[in-house]
Amino acid sequence: MKNKVLTALLLLLCLQALPFAAFGGEKAVKPGNPAAYLTTKAQRLSLATLHDIDDGKLYTIDYTADYRLDKMLKSNVDGVRSCISFVEKHLLKEGAKADIKAGGGCSAFAVRAGDGKVIYGRNFDYKMDMTAVLIRTAPKGGYVSIGLADAGWVGYGIGSLGDGVSDISMAVGLPYLIMDGMNEKGLAVSVFYLDGEPARQNTGKPKIMTTVAMRLMLDRAANVDEALALVGQYDMQSAMPDANFHFLISDASGRSVVLEYCGNKMSVLDEHYVTNFYLDPSMEGLGHGKDRYEILKSVLAFKKDVLSEKEAMSLLEMVSQPETEASTSMTQWSVVYNLTDLNATVAIRREYEKLFRFSISDISGK
């Protein structure tokens, strides 16, 4: 472990001297795929904005249709299956079906840059054939946000959103498939897989599922306190029946917390980096990803929690994971959100020499 940490520190020092990698750009290739189950013109217009900007591995979409969050929040959705069932029943015509897959193992941190701006870095690790989608939403009465969705959760692999064959109707559920995101107020949130019993709160409040909670926070919370207050109004239900999840929530003021559900009790910890094991003392020893956590801890301590965007991406590269037999291996994307300037820099599948740049107002990827 000491050798890994020392290597990480040396790599960070070397990478500081390198120029920031060139940005990728949009190819403006619109998919000609069928979408037989759409129900509204707004849905068709939203899916028409799908663009492939990285050879089928990364798409963008400017999502303007109504994804009926209020109805979702009243539907007691308690997992991925029931979330997708909601999409099939309330957003699409009868007959739409998804090939559901879910999981993930990740790393994230929030720090300040040297100029005082707040930086939020995150890796999404999960071994599967999937395409990532950078989605912008602008809900009526809510906050504009950008985030990265795992379209593989509903069966869309590399290139399938633009292969001319696959029905892409299920893409209307992308607002509920985000793994991380940032809104116009500078609130950021991401989710992380945990071993152990799934959260199944049952206090009589309405139920909310993991990624629906993220959608709620991004749409309606301006800061950490508001985000916690919102999710506290619901009984949390883990997205998966055999695993739990925790969240890293940060805002433009620099405040960060890790939100966990331990023994079905909500636990809020003043922490600003996380991987895939519980931080609450009552759950000590449960989980994985401690090697990545120790690298984050050592590098952030060495840098006194001050990183540039370039250094943040370099740190994500250090804790990124190659593909192995483990389901929580394989870094699908790394993203650095700037919660002050409201932009995001994305690397897909550990291709750190090819970066894509987005903002709240521009999702072209240039």
pLDDT tens column, 264-307: 999 999 999 999 999 999 998 888 889 999 999 999 999 999 99
Cross-strand pairs, 237: 200, 209
Structure tokens at 233: 């109004």
Q: Which residues of 223-244 are buried (b: 16+ CB within 10 A; e: fewer)?
A: bbeebbebbeebbbbbbbeebb
Phi, psi of 217 (to 5 degrees): -60, -45
Residues of the chain with pLDDT under 50: 6, 10, 13, 15, 17-19, 28-31
pTM over 0.85: yes
| 103-137 residue pLDDT tens | 556 899 999 999 999 999 999 999 889 999 999 99
Cα 242 to Cα 197: distance, rounded to the nearest angstrom = 6
Residue 324: per-residue pLDDT: 82
- Strand intervals (E) in the chain: 51-52, 58-63, 105-112, 118-125, 132-137, 145-150, 178-183, 188-194, 207-209, 235-237, 244-250, 256-262, 265-269, 273-274, 276-277, 287-288, 331-338, 343-348, 355-359
Residue 209: per-residue pLDDT: 97
Cα 124 to Cα 331: distance, rounded to the nearest angstrom = 6
What domains does the chain contain, in order, with CATH numbers? 41-359 (3.60.60.10)
Under a CB-based contact definition with an 8 Å cutoff, are residues 26 and 364 in contact?
Answer: yes
Structure tokens at 56: 């089928």
Under a CB-based contact definition with an 8 Å cutoff, are residues 34 and 168 in contact?
Answer: yes
At position 19, the amino acid (one-letter code) is: P
Structure tokens at 141: 């009465």
Distance of CA 287 to the CA centre of its chain: 20
Contact partners, residue 190, CB within 8 Å, separation at least 6: 106, 108, 122, 124, 179, 180, 181, 214, 247, 248
Cα 14 to Cα 5: distance, rounded to the nearest angstrom = 14
Structure tokens at 39: 């129900």
Q: CA distances (Å), 254 to each of 167, 183, 299, 335, 336, in order?
A: 42, 15, 18, 18, 15
Cross-strand pairs, 109: 121, 273
Residue 285: per-residue pLDDT: 80
Q: Which residues of 269-294 are buried (b: 16+ CB within 10 A; e: fewer)?
A: bebbbbbbbbbbeebeeebbbeebbb
